[in-house]
Amino acid sequence: MDAAKRIVVLGVGNLLLSDEGVGVRVVERLPQAYVVPPEVALLDGGTCGMEMLEDLEDLDVLILVDAVRAHKAPGTPVRLAGDAVPVFFKTKLSPHQVGLSDVLATLELIGKAPKYTAILGIQPVSLETGMALTPEVEARLPELMRMVADELAAQGVALVPRAAAGAGAQAALQAGARTAQAA
Amino acid sequence: MSKRVTIDPVTRIEGHLRVDVEVDAGRVKKAWASGQMWRGVENILVGRDPRDAWAITQRICGVCTTVHAICSVRAVENALQLEIPVNAQYIRNLIVLAHAIHDHIVHFYHLSALDWVDVTSALKADPKKASSLAESLSNWSGNSASEFTKVRDRLSGFVGTGQLGIFTNGYWGHPAMKLPPEVNLIATAHYLQALEIQRYASKIVAVLGSKSPHIQNVAVGGVANALAIDSQSVLTVERLLAVKEWIEKLNDFVKNVYLVDVAVVGGFYPEWTKIGRGIVDYISVPDIPLDGKGTQFALPGGHIAGGDLSTFKEITNFNDTYFRDGVAESVKHSWYEGGKGPLHPYQGETKPEYTDFQDNGKYSWLKSPTFYGKPMQVGPLPRVAAMVAAKHEPTIAYATKALDLVSTVAKTKVGLDALHSTIGRHAARAVSAAVQVDELARQWDLLLANMAKGDLKTFNKPVFPKGEIAGVGFHEAPRGVLSHWVVIDDGKIKNYQCVVPTTWNAAPRNEKDEPGAYEACLLDTPVAVPDQPLEVLRTVHSFDPCLACAVHIVDEENNEVVKVKAA
């Protein structure tokens, strides 16, 4: 593992539009499910734009987590890397208008773009107004977090799962809290 | 024959707004502004704890997170008539001022300058000539010939690859582009420098707000920052000294680059001081409270009728009934259930009723707010007009400086009336930024002086009474008046309405079928090439539209940006 690597896991999306906020929820819950080493910065980007420029400069690895319109069955996890990344931004596979594509274009302009970018996401079930994820997407969240861990492992950074029972209980608590809030 | 032009989306980066214009004989004859996505956020808040509302409302919009957080706690504090510690006021003031300066710099350079600046023309510029021109106007350190040569070479490499990246969607070579190559090069260099500078404003928000991009430190009753003279774990003098350094960098850029560039661009486009006047009934609110109750403010605000500064009526405090009683929203032309006439926000309803886009019926997800029955313009221009009317000395000084420079470049005397225009909105925004950066430094001094007196208090605990209370919080946000209206019953939110700046400006026609600010300001705009309606974009962009703020998202798999159809 190269300790000097600069790695960001960036969750984006709007928390007020149900599954649109899935990226932010992943970033919120990742530390409860895994021990995240200090060289991995978790960033809740919401729907922000230029404010994130500095946080995203000169990265070795950017893992973007978002709701992705991939024309797959709702709730399907999606991974995009390599050539699919620019396509993602050009064709707005992300259902929200975030300004993030412009932040990345700006990073290109100033020569500080991430060396490696991967996009992990999920086909949303609903984008209705509401603060809770749909049960379908909620159920796939552990899988999406595992994909983040796998992606980081491929980059030489290990996320250690917290004790399985503990993590399960945590997730259940979280889900319960969300449902209660939305009610 | 008239042509109908649909622009969707109109923003280069943010949000989602659709503008339809009918063009006849090279001029806009009719215009419609439409928000394309339902904003049902208010409904999420009903039944919740009012102390949580700020964290939820700051998710309404990607660009204006901070302003909704601040406005929300002000609304709840207003309902409770809760005074907050003066330190909390100073810290909030520093955050909102830094945020506003960030917004203004990014808006001009990164979201709208390319409406006026032809980046490809900059390649033909002589860096030496550009440098001597820039150095004759300002003592900014980034105006050397070597700096400009570097920028031109970098740009040339960029264009050479055929990958214009962020510059791709510009209207290069459009007949409405009029800046000489040297000015285009100067502006492009400053575009890049602004990317460096804007981060200092973000850093101030992040340090004081405890987290970026969403601040975490706000609370009903004050702020959650613990202040200390020496401790490491809290907001220390050491951190505040770093903030002071960043303020100085912003100050240098705003005064010596931004204000100058806007005036120079204005000087080369003097005809744009006569375009885009539209609605000149203005509303702004006072901001940067200097006491815990919100009875004294550093920056004045109020109402101006018909663009006549002598009609200025000041809004004086957080309990001002003139503001509170004047706001209402109509949904006659909006996709909501109506029939009750314009409603005051305390009674406001948000029940969707979608129809198609009907030119004479309903055509927008935005409501149509009015002030005592009249549509208003909000934003930096109304703000600066109010501050000039209130005889706020720094505002008058910076406005005079900008207009003098415009006059020099345009070689004709340009007066205050030129501000009521498309380019005038940009100038007002730069003047506003100059005033705000001075105020940022002053708020820093006030906070430090108060801490030095031994006052480290930042929070007064709110207590919610039984029964119903209501409150309004207002904030002069970067894009203009923002107000949150909350009705609380037994400590839970009963109704919540946000009347956001872009809703004022991009409003559809109101109850009396009068157009909103965008719609009115677009009338008579020249359009040289109907399928490249750059001029329409110039006027719309001059408002700094943020439809992510007024509406959220649009699921658009169709990437067509400009639709032209014969009408």
SS (H, E, C) B275-336: CCCCCCCEECCCEEECCCCCCCEEECCEEECCCCHHHCEECCCCCCHHHHHHEEEECCCECE
Q: Give me the domains of chain B, ranges plus CATH numbers.
A: 3-169+178-562 (1.10.645.10)
Which residues in B lie closer than 8 A to residue A42 (C-beta atoms)? none
Is B213 an 8 Å CB contact of chain A?
A: yes
DSSP B209-233: HSSSSS---EETTEE-PPB-SS-SS
Q: Which residue has the tokens 């907050």?
A: B84
Average pLDDT rounded to a whole number, residues A96-110:
74
The model's pLDDT over B333-349, given as tens digits with 9 standing for 90+, comes to 999 999 899 999 999 98
Residue B558 has pLDDT above 90, yes or no: no
Residue B297 has pLDDT above 80, yes or no: yes
- Mean confidence (pLDDT) of chain B: 89
| pLDDT of res. B99 | 95
Q: Do A129 and B555 touch (CB under 8 A)?
A: no
The model's pLDDT over B275-292, given as tens digits with 9 standing for 90+, comes to 999 999 999 999 999 999
Residue B226 has pLDDT above 80, yes or no: yes
User: Sorting pLDDT into bands at 50, 70 and 90, what band is A142?
Assistant: very high
User: Sorting pLDDT into bands at 50, 70 and 90, what band is B202?
Assistant: very high
Report angle CA B11, B12, B15 to the nearest 5 degrees.
Answer: 45
Average pLDDT rounded to a whole number, residues B391-414:
96
Maximum Cα–Cα distance for chain A, whole Å? 47
Give percent above pLDDT 70 in chain B.
Answer: 90
Could you tell me how many CB contacts below 8 A there are between chain A and chain B? 106
Q: Do A54 and B203 touch (CB under 8 A)?
A: yes
Radius of gyration of chain A (CA): 16
| pLDDT of res. B380 | 98
Closest CA to B151 of B196, B112, B108: B196
Dihedral, B43, B46, B48, B50 alpha carbons, nearest 10: 100
Given its phi and psi angles, is residue B363 left (phi above 0), alpha (psi -120 to 50 degrees) or beta?
alpha
Q: Which of B56, B212, B560, B561 to mutate to test the interface with A (most CBs of A within 10 A)?
A: B212
The model's pLDDT over A26-58, given as tens digits with 9 standing for 90+, comes to 999 999 999 999 999 999 988 777 888 889 999
> What is residue B531's three-state secondary structure?
coil
| pLDDT of res. B233 | 55
> What is residue A130's three-state secondary structure?
strand
Smallest Cβ–Cβ distance between A51 and the set B41, B202, B559 belongs to B202
- A149: amino acid identity, one letter: A
CA–CA gap between residue A59 and residue A41 (Å, rounded): 11
Greater confidence (B164 vs B21) lies with B21
Q: Which CATH superfamily is domain A7-182 in?
A: HybD-like (3.40.50.1450)
CA–CA gap between residue B188 and residue B118 (Å, rounded): 9
- B306: amino acid identity, one letter: G
CA–CA gap between residue B351 and residue B337 (Å, rounded): 6
User: Sorting pLDDT into bands at 50, 70 and 90, what band is A183?
Assistant: very low
Which residues in A lie closer than 8 A to residue B102 (C-beta atoms)? 50-51
Evaluated on CA atoms A30, A34, A35, A37, the torsion sign reads negative
Please, are residues A108 and B22 in contact by the beta-carbon 8 Å criterion?
A: no
Q: Which of A97, A110, A112 to mutate to test the interface with B (most CBs of B within 10 A)?
A: A97
Residue B435 has pLDDT above 70, yes or no: yes
Residue A68 has pLDDT above 80, yes or no: yes
- pTM (2 d.p.): 0.90
The model's pLDDT over B26-79, given as tens digits with 9 standing for 90+, comes to 888 888 888 776 667 788 899 999 999 999 998 876 567 899 999 999 999 999
- B7: amino acid identity, one letter: I
Radius of gyration of chain B (CA): 23
Which range has highest mean pLDDT (B15-24, B32-41, B346-355, B472-481)? B472-481
Which residues in B lie closer than 8 A to residue A96 (C-beta atoms)? 552-553
Q: Would you give the DSSP letter of residue B169?
A: T
Smallest Cβ–Cβ distance between A53 and the set B16, B195, B555 belongs to B195
Smallest CA–CA separation between A164 and chain B, in Å?
30
Q: Do A108 and B106 touch (CB under 8 A)?
A: no
* Domain ranges across chain A: 7-182
Q: Do B213 and A15 touch (CB under 8 A)?
A: no
> What is residue B176's three-state secondary structure?
coil
The model's pLDDT over A108-132, given as tens digits with 9 standing for 90+, comes to 888 899 999 999 999 889 888 889 9
The model's pLDDT over B440-468, given as tens digits with 9 standing for 90+, comes to 999 999 999 999 999 999 999 999 999 99
Give the chain B residue whose CA is nearest to the CA of A20: B553
Q: Do A97 and B110 touch (CB under 8 A)?
A: no
Residue A133 has pLDDT above 90, yes or no: yes
Flag the least confident range among B41-45, B139-143, B276-280, B396-400: B41-45
Question: Which class for A128: exposed (0-12), middle (13-18), buried (19 or more C-beta within 10 A)?
Answer: middle
Which residues in A lie closer than 8 A to residue B202 (C-beta atoms)? 50-51, 53-54
